[in-house]
Amino acid sequence: MDVQPGDKVFISTSMLGEPLLREVYREALDAGAGQVEYELVFREREQVFLEHASEMALRTPPLLNEQAMAAFNCYLHIRAPYNLREQSGTTPERAAIRQAAMAPLNKNYFERTADRRLKRNLCQFPTDAAAQEACMSLSAYETFVYGACGLLTEDPIGHWLQVRAQQQHIVDHLNACTEVHYRNEHIDIRFKTEGRIWINSDGQTNMPSGEVYTSPVENSVQGVVHFSYPGLYQGNEVEGVTLWVQDGFIEKWEARRGQDFLNYIFSLPGTRRFGEAAIGTNYNIKQMTRNILFDEKIGGTIHMAIGQSYLQCGGKNESNVHWDMITDMTAGGEVLADGEVIYRNGHFLI
């Protein structure tokens, strides 16, 4: 996050993430931060809140978070979950009220991260819940997380500087093009990127990182896209999602499993347009762990997100939802830029 002397830093995690919180707290103070505030979430806090909060409480945004998104310089969210299904039984109507209350905070977050007035990062502290979701022991999951973050290399900083240089070549090429086309046996979707910016995700905003991404011109997306990986959002899971798109608008959708939840999501404002298109480049991530922070970076995949666009890319779609959906491209997948094949079978050719 490049903490500078005088910066106000906000760190959010659960009580399970306290070991990493303690070290980051120390490092931020050593870097000269003028203020370091933190939030420690206890087990089942969100479930308890959504089940027991009055309507007034549901409509009142959290004060510290509100201040941090509006006025702090740095924001670190350390994921350290107790239970990844904590919110799965939540009443959708109450969740929608809470989402609406959080909309001004999200707006501040997207606007201020777009021009780095708010320098943010998202990372993972290994916990049993995340390990179980990945079908791993905790020790195996720890090794997976550290490997994905490049921490097992002799020079982790040098590793990410090399990723930065390699991906900059890719985004420079994509930023000189105006149309991108994803295709494989089940996908034939294209979109315009004129006036938009491809971003080099190299560790400064996510850890691990390893992707290049943009926000497509909203009304330019055309075709059909199928997502081969399961999708997880708000503790709910869908599988086998296929979307049919015309003039940027998702006109039809289908899921092999989780159709009712998908129907609900597409009833929410802004969700029937795409906020992101991206290509995963982290080949240290070799398997799905049911964690979007890692899964969207899998080398040899592409993903598209419905809902909120990235302002830093020039995106204009607004929504309380940003849901990344992923598909494998290693078996015959291609990416074309202005008609030129620049990617095949999971690897760039440029």
Report how far residue 147's alpha carbon sits from residue 285's, in angstroms, rounded to the nearest whole number.
8
* Whole-model pTM over 0.85: yes
User: 131, 79 in Cβ contact below 8 A?
Assistant: no
Q: All domains of the chain, ordered by start, with CATH?
A: 8-125 (3.40.1830.10), 156-348 (no CATH)
User: 303, 327 in Cβ contact below 8 A?
Assistant: yes
| Residue burial 63-79, b: 16+ Cβ < 10 Å; e: rest | eebeebbeebbbbbbbb
Structure confidence at residue 85 (pLDDT): 81
Structure confidence at residue 167 (pLDDT): 97
Half-sphere exposure of 71 (CA within 13 A, CB side): 8
Tokens 């009055």 map to which residue?
54
Tokens of 99: 């989402």
Structure confidence at residue 259 (pLDDT): 97
Which residues make Cβ contacts (< 8 Å) with residue 227, sequence separation at least 6? 240, 241, 242, 303, 325, 326, 327
Q: Are strands 74-79 and 119-124 parallel, antiparallel or unpaired?
A: parallel
Structure confidence at residue 90 (pLDDT): 74
pLDDT at residue 86 greater than cutoff 90: no
Question: pLDDT tens digits, residue range 266-311?
Answer: 999 999 999 999 999 999 999 999 999 999 999 999 999 999 999 9
Question: pLDDT tens digits, residue range 197-206?
Answer: 999 999 999 9
Helix (H, G, I), strand (E, B) or coil at 326: strand
Half-sphere exposure of 328 (CA within 13 A, CB side): 10
pLDDT confidence of 235, banded at 50, 70, 90?
confident
Structure confidence at residue 293 (pLDDT): 94
Report how far residue 233's alpha carbon sits from residue 242's, in angstroms, rounded to the nearest whole number.
16
Question: pLDDT tens digits, residue range 236-260?
Answer: 889 999 999 999 999 999 999 999 9
Classify residue 339 by its DSSP letter: T
Which ranges of the chain would DSSP assign to H, the alpha helix?
18-30, 45-52, 55-58, 63-71, 92-114, 128-133, 138-148, 156-174, 259-265, 292-295
Q: 97 or 235: whose pLDDT is higher? A: 97
